[in-house]
Amino acid sequence: MSAPFLILETGRPVASMRRHRGFAHWIRVAAGLDADAAVVVDVERGAPLPPLRDAAAAGFAGAIVTGSAAMVTDRHPWSERSAQWLREAAHAGLPLLGICYGHQLLAHALGGQVGDNPAGREMGTVELELQPQAGDDALFAGLPARFPAQATHLQSVLRAPDGARVLARSALDACHAFRWGASAWGVQFHPEFGTTHMHGYLRARREALAREGRDPARLQRAVRATPHARRVLRRFVRHARTLAPRQPLGE
């Protein structure tokens, strides 16, 4: 039996979308993982993370970090504890994928800079532009040079960690994806979001968007499927499983 994936749950969806369950469930389903192929740790609510015994980061094929309504710059104790764990896990070689907040948290953990996006809120189906360094990347190689993805965020990775490769950008965010080392990725977009999720988020934020001078109705009309973004998530799962098997976790 394949080793399971660890999902670090860092927050909940907007209230109107919780009838569809939570981020960890959305990620598991979009990644094509069976229920017994994922272990969820709710770090936002104080659940402890498993110890990293050695460079094998034993017992899991990889770890995925969810989105959150929290801000990395608020430095919540649970967030800082998670960042320390991610830093150790990345150096240990455990395959990692941070999504939205997880992307920012991983960048922060590895010495990058996170802050308010100078361009303001980025929300809706956005167009990503791959950077030259994506050409030989395990998750992005062979994807179209431009493709749509779902996004909703106020903060961004303003400076990628030293040594990281920036893999994708959008019109409003210069670091929509990065890879650090051989097996740690951050993506600002939401590969787990379908059109239902994106429409729901736009409805929940329509008043804020209108205050900011955005047209919520136009953004709703522009929502479309994002199959290439979902491929990134599934490729992470496949790639992590090709790496050497790990021993069970232990103290």
Neighbours of 208 (CB within 10 A): 13
* C-alpha–C-alpha distance, residues 131 and 128, integer Å: 9
Give catalytic residue positions: 100, 190, 192
d(C-alpha 131, C-alpha 133), whole Å: 5
At which residue do the structure tokens 């896990």 appear?
89
Fill in the amino acid letter for 142: G
Distance (Å, whole) CA 142 – CA 137: 9
Pair of tokens at residue 126:
């956005």
Distance separating alpha carbons of residues 153 and 250, to the nearest angstrom: 37
* Coil, strand or helix at 2: coil
| Rounded CA separation 33/56 (Å) | 22
Distance CA 231, CA 118 (A): 29
**What's the burial of 173, exposed, middle or buried (CB within 10 Å: 0-12/13-18/19+)?**
buried
CA distance 39 to 237: 14
